[in-house]
Amino acid sequence: MAKAGSCILALLLLIGLAAPWLAPHDPLRTYLAHRLEPPSLAYPLGTDHLGRCELSRLMFGTRISLWVGLAASLLSLAMGLLAGVASGLGKWWLEAPLRGVLDIALAFPGLLLALVLVGAMGPSALSLVLGIAGSVWPWWGRLVRGLVMSAKQSEFVMGGRVVGVEGLRLVRHYILPQVLPPLLVAISLKTAWVILATAGLGYLGLGVQPPTPEWGAMLQESRMYLTRAPWLMLAPGAAVTAAVLGFNLLAEGMRDMLQVKQIRGW
């Protein structure tokens, strides 16, 4: 499963990076004389309501969608790591406030919180990254805190403390090696959710704005032509499905290889 997921993700990344050279047409140029054409040799995935090549837009949209999703996932992970480690290893005067902030933030549904944050900042790629990261980092903070609390009770970490290991050295050499395997699995699983949330917010018009191609925005544009041109929705929908499937397969494969126990809530 890990190999299958890696191949899917590698193919998507390759398509996104090589889009300027692989795309058969300009994704932004309109050809009104060719609007809503079915798939053909000239347009393998057909054209949209403005005559733009759907395959070219899908390739360039892959670059934008994956960039936004990965950036949001990494930013939320960095914020959650800092909060989780500080909450798990900090003194009582630091641990209690951080735990309270995490509990309050987790009381809101993730997608609803992302919708509020992105709506407040205005639709753009940057606000999409910041909004999703702001809604996901409490989940990471709670997960990392739990892993750190469990790891610091192990005999390995307690032995390190006995010989005088403290601070960043304790985190780097004693705690992170125990936290990293389940964290890698969680990264892949949560990135799949972030990709799906990115497409969902783009579908609502809160992501990258037209005419820039993005999977969610392409799905929203094809909604009015579902019965007349169903190929417009199939292509970006299949791309979102492939990305989510790739990350999930990679997570399941890594969980088996690293022998990570299932954690409730993943």
3-state secondary structure of 28: coil
171 or 184, which is more confident?
Answer: 184
The answer, yes or no, to whether residue 264 has pLDDT greater than 50, is no
The answer, yes or no, to whether residue 6 has pLDDT greater than 80, is yes
Spatial separation of the C-alpha atoms in residues 165 and 179, rounded to whole Å: 18
Spatial separation of the C-alpha atoms in residues 145 and 13, rounded to whole Å: 32
The answer, yes or no, to whether residue 38 has pLDDT greater than 80, is yes
3-state secondary structure of 47: strand
96 or 30, which is more confident?
Answer: 30
CB atoms within 10 A of CB 230: 12
Eight-state DSSP code of residue 173: I
Spatial separation of the C-alpha atoms in residues 238 and 113, rounded to whole Å: 26
CATH 1.10.3720.10 fits 2-25+35-258, yes or no: yes
Binned at pLDDT 50, 70 and 90, residue 85 comes out as confident
Sketch the domain layout of the chain as residue ranges. 2-25+35-258
The answer, yes or no, to whether residue 169 has pLDDT greater than 70, is yes
88 or 7, which is more confident?
Answer: 7
